[in-house]
Structure 1
């Protein structure tokens, strides 16, 4: 079976649905892509024969972040109101079946948020993870301020956000952000094997267990993205945001004005 949404395909391997997205060259996302991914996951939820999901992207980079209003390159684009995107993102967290995410290359900013939709992350050795929001003078989004502390703890989350530091696959695994690190050539195989192992369990039991472990998660993400959205709207209007985007593009520290 192969179903095509906007930039998204679904293929199957036994009881595993493989959801792939492609926005070359760096797989930036926008509202349309997140909506298409949510459509795909909801379609899989309606298909009883599919018991687990493998989420992946095409190309050398998993996802370099958001692209709004034609701006790319910083891992976060300019948007007067990111609320529409976050409402679509919450749909991803409301789906029912376990998700394994395969990460190659960069998962930056909103791309890190997309990776955190999954229950598990399998990373290639060349994977890089960063929540570089403060580097461009913006507040974290995509529910990351709620999701990351659940997964890697408050202190690791604070370090990741306050510094904007970029982590290797091995460093991400050491803090619990990543579940397995494999060579790039074995990423697809390892991620599919992980998803297949999950799919071998009794589906009602797996989904019930997942629902308990993630009880209240989507609602909490919805509430948290409302706060993130307000903070982002305020900071999008700042001079520091404009400076941050330019500084990242020029690979230099920001010259902040605190306004």
Structure 2
């Protein structure tokens, strides 16, 4: 089985109950409504595929995902907050998928890209991986459900540290915090992610699904509720001078000159 979903997502089964799902939107693999919709469509289809018991989620290029493009008119916020609301509707579908996902992460997983990485059950990272929830540097509020998924994964204190500083976390620190499950050299990243997925897939599929459902609980519902709160706060902040300055500063790779208005 090999198939495509839109122009950015491809799926292939490796013959050992593992599907390889690849995001291909170089160079930055920016998160967009269409990309997340196509990814959710792929996961939905794999949930109905009897030969698929685990999924590897990967991305082409230097970055796993540099987040959502908030600056350009063609980006997710180019037409206002409506695009962001649509993005979150599709994001909830990722958390509702039933098949375990192992993300193979190289380069940046930033902002919404970090949110995408945390939709997976497990993360294998290469030495060049970097993780950041840099929303405050943009004068913005965290989104993509990160205010529920990040504290759930690394604890409230560490999540607050990431949110309020916007700092980048290196893979060794991410491993120590539990954000990453394994490290692997860049050239062996996909092999390591496949090995973990196959370790899951060799077990009784009904038992794996039931156990995962118990552990994740009502995560999709929690993400849906939290994205509604995130969207409300983002709508307020998006019309501020600080947001305009933050987007400009990040694009110019400098510290923002914020005025608190």
Q: TM-score range by the shorter chain?
A: over 0.9
Structure 1 residue 3 corresponds to structure 2 residue 11:
no
Flag structure 2 segments of 5+ consecutive residues without an equivalent. Answer: none
What SS does the corresponding residue of 2:81 show, helix, strand or coil? Answer: coil
Q: Match of 1:147? A: 149
* 2:176 equivalent among 168, 174, 177: 174
- Measured in 1, the distance between the counterparts of 2:109 and 2:73 equals 18
Shift in Å at residue 189 of structure 1? 0.5
Q: Match of 1:44? A: 46
**Count of paired positions:** 257
Deviations 1:88-123 (A, max 9, x none): 000000010100000000000000000000000000
Shift in Å at residue 258 of structure 1? 1.1
- Measured in 2, the distance between the counterparts of 1:252 and 1:85 equals 28
Q: Match of 1:122? A: 124
What SS does the corresponding residue of 1:84 show, helix, strand or coil? Answer: helix
What SS does the corresponding residue of 1:54 show, helix, strand or coil? Answer: strand
Shift in Å at residue 80 of structure 1? 2.1
- Measured in 1, the distance between the counterparts of 2:77 and 2:248 equals 12
CA contact (8 A) 1:23 1:29 kept: no
Q: Match of 1:192? A: 194
CA contact (8 A) 2:108 2:130 kept: yes
Shift in Å at residue 144 of structure 1? 0.3
Structure 1 residue 62 corresponds to structure 2 residue 57:
no
What TM-score comes out, normalization by structure 2 length?
0.95
What SS does the corresponding residue of 1:9 show, helix, strand or coil? Answer: strand
Q: Match of 1:240? A: 242
Shift in Å at residue 146 of structure 1? 0.2
Deviations 1:153-185 (A, max 9, x none): 000000000000001111111111000111101
CA contact (8 A) 1:11 1:19 kept: yes
What SS does the corresponding residue of 1:167 show, helix, strand or coil? Answer: coil
- Call closer, same or farther: CA 1:184–1:117 in 2, change over 3 Å: same
Deviations 1:119-143 (A, max 9, x none): 0000001100000000010000000
What TM-score comes out, normalization by structure 1 length?
0.96
Shift in Å at residue 77 of structure 1? 5.0
Shift in Å at residue 69 of structure 1? 7.4
Root-mean-square deviation (CA, aligned residues, Å) is 1.4
- Call closer, same or farther: CA 1:227–1:147 in 2, change over 3 Å: same
Structure 1 residue 34 corresponds to structure 2 residue 39:
no
CA contact (8 A) 1:146 1:220 kept: yes
CA contact (8 A) 2:58 2:103 kept: yes
